[in-house]
Structure 1
Amino acid sequence: MRRLAGIAGAAALALTLTGCAGGADGDDRPHIVVTTNILGDVVANTVGDAAQVTTLMRPNADPHSFEISAREAAMMRDADLIVSNGLGLEEGLQRHLDQAEDAGVETYAAGEQIDALDYSDGEAAGTPDPHFWTDPARMLDVVDGLEKAAEDIDGVDEQAVDEAAAAYVTELEELDQEMTDSFAGILEQQRSLVTNHHVFGYLADRFDFQVVGAVIPGGTTLAAPSAADLRDLTEAIERAGVATIFAESSQPDRLIQVLADEAGVDVEVSELFTESLTEQGQGADTYLSMMRANTERITSGLSPGPID
């Protein structure tokens, strides 16, 4: 169940960003394998020291295209629990997820725990949007379900999970309030978002932004924009009077720089951390730090400048 804010004590567990087929020798705790590094950080904070957590996706990777080794695939089949996005984000891992589930491994699909949104345009229109982590309120639902799934693992310390999850829920609630307060300073007519591809649907839904469009059509980075796509988006940017276009840290920003030039207006380009955590010390090595960095950059990019 969702905990109220104010429960003290933060239990954090460093992610095992793996190239190996298991954890430390002699570690007899239950083993949870997580597909993406954003979810890996959330899982580690939710279960604390009650389980060993291995994250497959390395820092600064693209969740749509990263792949794993045969050894890592075998590790998935030996896990006590596999945690995945569940809405088709990890396109290169789907067959491994299916094989592990067929082998009887317990799985937790985070996207099945939330009120999912569908893409509204492009080739992906009508299919579920997997980028739910841009809304911290939905991540509270993910943690609620994850806590229950972890406590169902044989041999897990349920009290340790309960305490760690409660502490992390408090941090998520604080993040949600910080984002609400920060975005309140952006005028309604300036709440327009443009980025590499459609990744901000949930943030827009939660905090009343308008997604003007994306350079890459659809919900995956594996697609490519046509000249007509770029022309249509340029026109939409001009109509909306967009001041800043946001480039994603997991992708080169060449296309978005071209779009900014093509728009023929004074448009800034600002980098956001959207689909991957960074290496430690690079600005977004946890889910919380990623969301705080993005909140600051979105607020700065879309807020009015000083009056001369």
Structure 2
Amino acid sequence: MTRRILAVLAVVIAFGAVLTGCSGTGVVSVRPQIVVTTNILGDVVSRLAGEQADVTTLMKPNADPHSFEISAAQAARLAEADLLVSNGLGLEEGLQQHLDRAAESRARMFVAGDRIEVLPYTAGDARGTPDPHFWTDPARMRDVVDALEPALAEIDGVDAAEIRANADAYRAELSALDAEMVAAFAAIRVEKRALVTNHHVFGYLADRFGFRVVGAVIPGGTTLAAPSAADLRDLVAAIEDAGVRTVFAESSQPDRLVRVLAEEADLRVEVVELYTESLTAPGAGADSYLTMMRANTARIAQGLGA
């Protein structure tokens, strides 16, 4: 009898070992696995997937999408995911080698930048190259949702009807956001719709809502570059010509360069922080895409509308 009990216990223990994993419950999830590079897209994917899949976002809150890196264990998971979602257009510079390897291994990939009408940079060192910051335009984010819905619905084990319902609800929220932004920016006089920030990140917002991108402290599409003395002189001249009194610093980047520019050039400008390339931790002001965009809209409208 004792031997029989021991044998049963051995089977139970062995079966438990198969089920245990790295999740908080100690049980491996049987739901589809989706890996997303940036936290902005991670938020959108999570809204659409709901409880249908486990969504892993690689980029931590307040990180820089141009330079954040991942561990070897995270890199190994890319090719194993049921769907790998990335921004594309050269945004994830620190991850590009891992994304290339995942593509070579024929991982199922969704590149958001391939599903929108892409704008080129119009100024700086990156002039003429694709601008990856399309999320500053909620209409283009709706295009991403339209393309992402069928990609999620095709994953084995998900309920396509639930994905569709989630996508419809989120599209309605994006439309409401777009209308709010139109109304808020309409209060800014046309001659005051001039944007200056750390680097060129507002091209899509400017195109959608009728702003002018006067310039950026870093004259390119990446935060990994550095401005020269000539770049700063040119920017100072552009700011003075446009009569800009508010410049915007990004939450994922220190605003030191913007403040130095204002102080050394003796420019009387206000520095306002925006959440442009990363979400924050929960409760820290921009923990979802919709919250981030509403916060930015209010700050731009207040900063330029005074």
TM-score (norm 1): 0.90
Aligned residue in 1 for 2:117 = 115
The code of the aligned residue for 1:86 comes to G
CA separation of 1:21/1:43 partners in 2, compared to 1, >3 Å: closer, same or farther? farther
**Paired residue for 2:195?**
193
| 1:23–1:54 CA distance, 2 compared to 1 (3 A) | farther
| 2:126 matched residue in structure 1 | 124
2:243 pairs with one of 234, 241, 265: 241
Q: Which amino acid aligns with 2:282?
A: Q
Q: Are the equivalent residues in 2 in contact too, given 1:49–1:160 (CA < 8 A)?
A: no
Map Cα deviations across residues 95-124 of structure 1 (whole Å, 9 max, x no partner).
111111111210000011110000112221
- Range moving further from structure 2, 46-55 or 137-146: 46-55
Moved over 6 A (4+): 20-24
The answer (yes or no) to whether the contact 2:22–2:28 under 8 Å persists in 1 is: no
Shift of 1:23: 8.2
Q: Which residue in the other structure is 1:48 paired with?
A: 50
Structure 2 gaps of 5+ residues are 1-20
Cα distance in 2 for partners of 1:284, 1:177 equals 19
Query: Partners in 1 of 2:266 and 2:63 — Cα distance?
Result: 32
Return the match for 2:172 from 167, 170, 179.
170
RMSD of equivalent CA atoms: 1.3
Change over 3 Å in CA distance of 1:222–1:36 after alignment to 2: same
Aligned match of 2:18: none
Overall identity of the aligned pairs, in %: 66
- Residue 30 of structure 1 deviates from its aligned partner by 0.9
Instruction: Tell me the secondary structure at the aligned position of residue 50 of structure 1.
Output: coil
The structure having more radius of gyration, on CA atoms, is 2
Gaps of 5+ in 1: 1-19
Superposed CA deviations along residues 164-216 of structure 1, whole A, max 9, x for unmatched, are 11111111111011111100000000000000000000000000000000000
Q: TM-score, normalised by structure 2?
A: 0.91
Name which of 86, 97, 102 aligns with 1:84. 86
Comparing 101-110 with 53-62, greater Cα deviation is found at 101-110
**Which structure would you say has the larger RCO, counting Cα contacts within 8 Å and 6 or more residues apart?**
1
Q: Larger helix proportion, structure 1 or 2?
A: 2
Q: Aligned pair count? A: 285
Residue-by-residue CA offset, 1:54-96 (whole Å, 9 max, x unaligned):
0000000000000000100111111000000111100011111
The equivalent of 2:39 in structure 1 is 37
CA-to-aligned-CA distance 1:263-288 (integer Å, 9 cap, x gap): 43321000000000001111000000
Q: CA deviation at 1:155?
A: 1.8
Tell me the equivalent position of 2:103.
Answer: 101
